[in-house]
Amino acid sequence: MNIIKRNGKEVTYDSEKIIGAVKKANNEVREKDRLLNSQINVIEEKVRIRLNDLDHEAGVEEIQDYVIEAIQQEGAFKVATAYTVYRYHRELVRKSNTTDDKILTLVEYDNEEVKEENSNKNPMVVSVQRDYMAGEVSRDLTTRLLLPPDVVEAHKAGIIHFHDSDYFVQHMYNCCLVNLDDMLQNGTVISDTMIEKPKSFSTACNIATQCIAQIASSQYGGQSITLSHLAPFVDVSRQKFRKEVREEMLENGIIVDEDRINAIAERRTQIEIKHGVQTMQYQVTTLMTTNGQAPFITVFMCLDEVAEGQLRDDLAMVIEEMLKQRIEGVKNEKGVFITPAFPKLIYVLDEDNVREGSKYWYLTQLAAECTAKRMVPDYISAKKMREYKSGDIYPCMGCRSFLTVDRFTEAGVGNVSCSKDYRPDQHKYYGRFNQGVVTINLVDVACSSNRDIDRFWRLLDDRLELCHRALRCRHERLLGTTSDAAPILWQHGAIARLQKGEKIDKLLYNGYSTISLGYAGLYEMCKYMTGKSHTDPEARPFALEVMQRLNDKCAEWKSNENIDYSVYGTPLESTTYKFAKCLQKRFGKIKDVTDHNYITNSYHVNVREKIDAFKKLAFEADFQKLSPGGAVSYVEVPNMTSNLDAVLSVMQFIYDHIMYAELNTKSDYCQVCGYDGEIQIATDPHGKLVWRCPSCGNEDQNKMNVARRTCGYIGTNFWNQGRTQEIQERVLHMSTAVLEDSEAGQRPV
């Protein structure tokens, strides 16, 4: 049996430490109030039994609570008091320096929590360790000096989650839509070097990746670019090649007509597109930012972002090459093609590509093949997005965070970012960003109410106001930031073109940027309050009412403060485990509520609930509409590479029913035996979940490549025990029978 020390290190449970601590407290009281040695042994035994009954490794604080409870059960209340006083004094000593032990365990690779905190960071790498070390200092300063005590305590207790406190000390925002068009067309500056408008497509791709790396090092969340900003440079290359071919023919005395010249130039253009896309894919995969990881980058593929004609056809060629290269994958250290985590791809479904016979149907077929093999692209329905977003179509920032609909254009705010590509007749999305996220744990609200519905609503309002004050801390941390803090963002076009020394404050109001109220555990909340899943018709209205309350609060704050608060379906990663452990500590194990080591992300149908793909997407559509600040739905599917018709059926269903969704397949490889099927999750003799190759039994994570969707992004560096259990318990939403129906030419319903 293992426990987690305060510094995050996982160690074997030592009964002598419990006995020794109780004896010290025992010696502090009068002899007549002391415990017998036999009673002290009973106390240790009770604690050990309690810990054995847990399905997670307990922390020191949790164990100490059990010790005090066991002492009180023996009637030794003065000993319990002495133990509590000793515990308090030790806490004061620890607070005098709260980071040393954690930093040392990071460097020595002994911190179990950090090992599995981020599924795209390898904590063995010194650059990652450096980022984590800085993060520990930031967390310490944040909790001791920068946040109100009640926000800190609520975060520690898992009542709310104050995201990214490891970056809060610095004046950084969360995520953004990069205005790559302005940077490429009008020039930018990278590391004090002027970068002028590129004169070829491949150069544009190279500059784009350099911009991506710089931007990733200046923020802590994901960024998105669109291929439509690169597409104009295809014709720049085409015209360059036409000129070169004419000159080559003339120099060699060869007489050819324009059609022949154009054909040769077109072939060279296609080769250039291939090289440019390859540059982007390999540079994004191999670049490492100051955060110690590849840039969290999303690439948007939307044909209707450009005018019909040559430009749209050029964009289609770029999209086609991007999909083809992702299907191939990238080579791992063994030279085997595997699924990369980045860039994430989003493909927009619209009338010109979603049905057989439409002009760009071939791209949609290619996207289906790519999804079946590599889990991307994800899909945005242009039809549903126009319905939800006042007719506009634009990507999410990073994996799911959506900007609010542009309201400053009609309000006459004008070119607040001073961008060089500003159009007063067009809504603006590229160059906008998100200030940060705070998440409410809806399961804790429910359990704290003890099923009293009036108390539930009062608690919900109180907790939402707590989140509001925490979000204000995020907003106020950015107020007063000058453009010099991140020149690539604020001065050189990624977000704005402000003057040196100019404050960014005007970009925090009028809807230019957003700030997100996250939520998690809607399923468990309903299960506790109603005894039913929110998929049950009797419980669904309650779930929708809660979602509406979140939106009403955001609207109220927005109206009062002119800040665009928005409801956000939080992509919990390590926090799902933290929330679950906090709930178990506070409320014990409640069936289907707190008895697992994870809680359900946002509004999603619980991973254990059996429901088919189409019903799941249709059901979640109403909840996604009530998460305007960002959300993504998914369906879990088996290997689909031999049944693309079924993938296309799901994609067409997405187009008609839900704005943003993805298909979760499996993409693994065992470096020991060469197995390329699904690496499975098993339980080791100590009760810990491990990844195991079903072919050779390999359990060495360093000798396998596993890719799973965990929170919008694909994770490739493994996960904590809570998230691993959630992955293990996911049911398939598309059965073999559905696949067979699809093979027979029938649409699955």
| Active-site residue, 401 included | yes
Q: Give residue 97's pLDDT band: very low, low, confident or very high (50, 70, 90).
A: low
Nearest to 120 by CA among 748, 710, 738: 710
pLDDT in tens, 179-199: 999 999 999 999 899 999 999
Rounded distance between C-alpha atoms, residue 185 and residue 650, angstroms: 38
Give the pLDDT band (50/70/90) at residue 443.
Answer: very high
Domain locations along the chain? 1-96, 153-171+405-630, 175-400
- The residue with greater pLDDT, 514 or 134, is 514
Q: Is the pLDDT of residue 115 over 60?
A: no
Which of 401, 597, 633, 742 does the annotation list as catalytic? 401
**Do you know the residue count of the chain?**
749
pLDDT given at position 644: 95
CB-count burial class (<10 Å; 0-12, 13-18, 19+) for 48: middle
* Arithmetic mean of pLDDT, 526-545: 98
Average pLDDT over residues 637-655: 94
Which of the residues 158, 712, 715, 722 is marked catalytic? Answer: 712
* pLDDT score recorded for residue 87: 77
370 is catalytic: no
% of the chain exceeding 70 in pLDDT: 90
With tokens 């074997």, the residue in question is: 12
**Per-residue burial over 589-612, b = 16 or more CB atoms within 10 Å of its CB, e = otherwise:** ebeebbebbbbbbbbbbbbebebb
Strands 297-301 and 344-349: parallel
Find the range with the poorest average confidence among 275-279, 283-287, 395-399, 530-534: 283-287
Catalytic residue among 62, 112, 117, 573: 573
Q: Residue 584: which region, alpha, beta or left (left: phi > 0; alpha: psi -120 to 50)? A: alpha
Which residue in 83, 360, 568, 713 is the catalytic one?
A: 568
Residue 746: the pLDDT is: 42
Do domains 153-171+405-630 and 175-400 share one topology? The answer is: yes
704 is catalytic: no
Q: Tell me, yes or no, if 202 is annotated catalytic.
A: no
Residues 206/515, Cβ–Cβ less than 8 Å? no
Query: Quick one: fold of 175-400?
Result: Anaerobic Ribonucleotide-triphosphate Reductase Large Chain (3.20.70)
Question: Residue 214: is it exposed, middle or buried by C-beta count within 10 angstroms (0-12/13-18/19+)?
Answer: buried
Order of strands, sheet of 713-715, starting from the edge strand that comes earlier in the sequence: 667-670, 704-711, 713-715
Q: What is the pLDDT of residue 290?
A: 57
Digit-coded pLDDT (tens) for 30-66: 999 999 999 999 999 999 998 888 867 788 888 888 9
Look up 179 and say whether it is catalytic: no
Q: In the structure, what pLDDT confidence band is assigned to residue 91 with cuts at 50, 70 and 90?
A: low
**Known active-site residue 573:** yes
Alpha carbon of residue 552 to chain centroid:
25
Comparing 219 with 127, the larger pLDDT belongs to 219
Catalytic annotation, pick one of 172, 175, 183, 704: 175
- The DSSP secondary-structure symbol of 632 reads -
Percent of the chain past pLDDT 90, that is, above it, reads: 71
* Model pLDDT, residue 555: 98
What is the pLDDT, as a whole number, of residue 75?
92
Is the CATH number of domain 153-171+405-630 3.40.50.720?
Answer: no
Of 302, 399, 467, 582, catalytic: 399
Of the candidates 172, 211, 375, 397, the residue annotated as catalytic is 397
Give 657 or 122, the one with higher predicted confidence: 657
Active site residue 399: yes
State the chain's mean pLDDT as an integer.
Answer: 90
